[in-house]
Amino acid sequence: MINKHYAIIGGGINGLAVARQLLLDFPESNVTVFEKEDGVAQHQSSHNSGVVHAGLYYEPGGLKARLCRRGAELVKQYCLENNIAYDECGKVVVALNVVEEARLESIYQKAIANQVPDVRMLNAEEIKEVEPNCIGTKALYSPRTAIVSYGDIAKKIAEEIQQKGGHIILGKKVVRLTEKNNKVTVHLSGSHSDSPSNNEQHDNAFDQVITCAGLQSDRLAAGSGDTETPRIVPFFGQYYVIDETYKAYVKGLIYPVPDPNYPFLGVHFTKRIDGQMTIGPNAFISLGRENYSGKDYNAADIYDFLTYKGFWKFSSKNMPAAMRELRTVLSQTNFVEQAAKYVPSLAKVSVTPATRGIRAQAMEADGSLVDDFVIRKQGNITHIRNAPSPGATSSLAIAEYIVREVMTH
Ligand SMILES: Cc1cc2nc3c(=O)[nH]c(=O)nc-3n(C[C@H](O)[C@H](O)[C@H](O)COP(=O)(O)OP(=O)(O)OC[C@H]3O[C@@H](n4cnc5c(N)ncnc54)[C@H](O)[C@@H]3O)c2cc1C
């Protein structure tokens, strides 16, 4: 792989991490990142909870479990080496009743199987020692769970790529990839619509291309000869910032026990690396893949999910949970109430809306959400088809996995 020309499509944290890994492993190679926005990490990588997940929930043996554990170590090391803020504030996952206690026990068993460091179960009194204002019948405590700014990490990786001689080309949307005679051509949109990349610094043909296109990953992959499914169905997550005066009521991260019928973690208290305390995110279908204000809509994105049979199957199976989430979308009071179940003294706290995040969640045609990371190689093109949370925690490990395992086959 020495001296080869690589293109990475997407300048989010995963694309940047892959470019960095290539330059680390093959310093003589020529590495180019194509990003459609005017800056790196403008989408999921800067619109998330900022949690360095310790690996509690993931199916032992799966890619998420493995890459999250390795990724969490690498993120910590990267932050320490590069003077990026890293706060090991800890996390409790709190059960409110016996039904949730049983689910919590199975998460605990997974955490043990995943070798998450220092996890333990807490009873009601012990919860107070960690989070004095939190109530619950039992909790799973993960003291090593941390918070960071993935946007800051991504920007640092971008600097490193440029220092190592890699190229980051901003404002260039890749419309598709074609492969011929062992070379992959990158076709860009723009004045010469669909014309191959003709940037003077770079050949338009690459030896290997890796697509890390997040919310657009299914379109780019399918347009480049990969399978039509799974498709990305965008679920937004709203956050609110709680009144500054009350932020010390929560010390770290307080999460509910996730609903096994709805594959998101549930509204939680998240301490931010900038010191703010937020609640969120909920999870509801987004009227645009990149619609952060929640006021606009994107007709093509809506058409795509409305005409996907998987979406209708998912909706019919998840109606009760979707209704619960819809109530948090329609009513700020209801949103705060969901979180205040864990910290009742915050039931009347005033909140201000913060940014939304939109999840690039892959969905199969049968309506099931793809749980594990999906990364696959076809010819000389490797596609990330599913990298939802803990995708940012795992990014540096995903990069190692792609460069050292997937691309070598
Ligand atoms: C609400 C929410 C909360 C989350 N919380 C956490 C958390 O606490 N911890 C955690 O580990 N993970 C979390 N995640 C998941 C994490 O944010 C993602 O897994 C991660 O950011 C994915 O990075 P990425 O680089 O794959 O995608 P992105 O950051 O979305 O980047 C994809 C990039 O590709 C570019 N692109 C797309 N199409 C093209 C094209 N055709 N041509 C050129 N460029 C293109 C986009 O502009 C974008 O910059 C959360 C996600 C959300 C939405």
Contacts of 86 (CB under 8 A, 6+ apart): 52, 75, 76, 79, 80, 146, 147, 148, 273
- In one-letter notation, the amino acid at residue 92 is V
What is the pLDDT confidence band of residue 2, given thresholds at 50, 70 and 90?
low
The 10s digit of each residue's pLDDT in 237-295 is 999 999 999 999 999 999 999 988 777 888 899 999 999 999 999 999 999 999 999 88
CA-proximal residue: ligand 1, atom 38 (nearest): 213
Confirm whether 5-46+152-230+371-406 and 88-145+231-363 share one CATH topology.
no
The 10s digit of each residue's pLDDT in 85-118 is 999 999 999 999 999 999 999 999 999 999 999 9
Q: How far is the CA of 25 from the centre of ligand 1 (A)?
A: 24
Per-residue pLDDT at 199:
46
Please give the C-alpha separations between residue 324 and each of 34, 188, 330, 334, in angstroms, as whole numbers.
39, 42, 10, 10
- Spatial distance between the Cα atoms of 386 and 220, rounded to a whole number of angstroms: 13
Choose the CATH number for 5-46+152-230+371-406 among 3.40.1000.10, 2.60.40.1260, 3.30.1220.10, 3.50.50.60: 3.50.50.60
Per-residue pLDDT at 350:
96
For residue 297, how many other CB atoms are within 10 A of its CB? 11
Helix axes 332-340, 319-330, angle to 10 degrees: 110
Please give the C-alpha separations between residue 34 and each of 15, 42, 208, 312, in angstroms, as whole numbers.
9, 13, 14, 34
CA-proximal residue: ligand 1, atom 33 (nearest): 10
Question: Which residues line ligand 1 at a C-beta cut-off of 6 Å?
Answer: 9-15, 34-37, 41-45, 47-51, 53, 173-174, 212-216, 220, 237, 281, 357-360, 384, 387-393
Domain boundaries, the chain: 5-46+152-230+371-406, 88-145+231-363
- For the domain made up of 88-145+231-363, the CATH class stated in words is alpha beta
Residue 236 Cα to chain centre, angstroms = 12
Q: Which residues pair with 235 in a beta bridge?
A: 285, 359
Q: How far is the CA of 337 from the centre of ligand 1 (A)?
A: 29
Q: Mean pLDDT over residues 298-326, rounded? A: 92
